[in-house]
Amino acid sequence: MWGLFLERFLENKWAIASAIFLFSLFIASLFAPYLCPYNPLAIDVNTILMPPSLSHPLGTDMLGRDVLSRLVFGARISLKVGFVAVGIATIIGTILGAIAGYYGRWVDAIIMRFVDIMLCFPSFFLILAVIAFLEPSIWNIMVVIGLTSWMGVTRLVRAEFLSLKERDFILAAHGLGASDMRIIFKHIMPNAMAPVLVSATLGIPGAILTEAALSFLGIGVQLPTPSWGNMLTAGKDNLDIAWWLSVFPGLAILFTVLAYNLLGEGIQDALNIRVG
């Protein structure tokens, strides 16, 4: 199956290009202190609002800070938020979905009614309400996004468990006296993780956009720490005289979100394999 998955995935040129782009972005953010030409926090009054040039390929901001360096360091924030927030949501959603789908009856009813209640609240406004009572920080943002975006994963895992628990190999495991925990984690969970992987990949862009929106509104990552969201805020205030402050962070968000979506769709198509 993994051989067929890899063969199908390599046929999707957009997915491969997206994977290369995201890997390059990850490497650039990981080694940002060594790759960036300037300190992203260094203020230089002699280069305030300098347009793109050889010395500053993406220009400088209103404090003379290099936009390229801040953009690369800002990628650290976006990638961290995407992975951690979606990781939290995936863990919570997988556990609750597995319990609901495996045990069914009143356990399923309670969990799914809780999911329905959570879905009644607009996620972004729920995040805004929670962040308003907490100190704006990157860790609070990641946790809050993760705690408010697990419902879709729960429904997905529940549906997979409802289908898989009726298969012959699960009935055989019951007949051999396997415990519930062994059946859930050893037999059903590995077979239910493919759609969860796709869901997690497609969920990362949403987390990145949410963080950027919060930072743009001033309740996310706080200055002087660079993030793509607060860079857009600075660009908005100087849009008429410094277009590069808005264009380049906006393009970074656009290409990153697009790459994750194309990668997720590529994985989804590659996993949609029928043997026989």
- What is the per-residue pLDDT for 72? 92
- What is the per-residue pLDDT for 19? 92
pLDDT tens column, 233-251: 888 878 888 888 889 999 9
Higher pLDDT, 14 or 131: 14
Q: pLDDT class for 276, splitting at 50, 70, 90?
A: very low
- What is the per-residue pLDDT for 2? 66
Residue 123 has pLDDT above 90, yes or no: no
Q: pLDDT class for 127, splitting at 50, 70, 90?
A: confident
How much is the average pLDDT of 26-40? 89
Q: Which residues is 276 bridged to in the sheet?
A: none
For the chain, the average pLDDT equals 85
Number of C-beta neighbours around residue 75 at 10 A: 22
Q: Which residues is 60 bridged to in the sheet?
A: 66
Q: pLDDT class for 43, splitting at 50, 70, 90?
A: confident
- What is the per-residue pLDDT for 44? 84
**Percent of the chain at pLDDT exceeding 90:** 20
* 209/146 Cα distance (integer angstroms): 13
How much is the average pLDDT of 16-36? 91
Predicted TM-score of the model (pTM): 0.85
CATH of 2-31+68-271, one of 1.10.3720.10, 3.30.70.1290, 3.40.50.2000, 3.40.50.12780: 1.10.3720.10
How much is the average pLDDT of 13-27? 92
Residue 88 has pLDDT above 90, yes or no: yes
- What is the per-residue pLDDT for 273? 45
Residue 197 has pLDDT above 60, yes or no: yes
Closest CA to 206 of 127, 132, 98, 269: 127
Q: Which residues is 66 bridged to in the sheet?
A: 60
- What is the per-residue pLDDT for 24? 93
Q: Which structure tokens are listed for 175?
A: 């007949």
| Radius of gyration from C-alpha coordinates of the chain | 22
Q: Which structure tokens are listed for 198?
A: 């796709």
Higher pLDDT, 99 or 5: 99
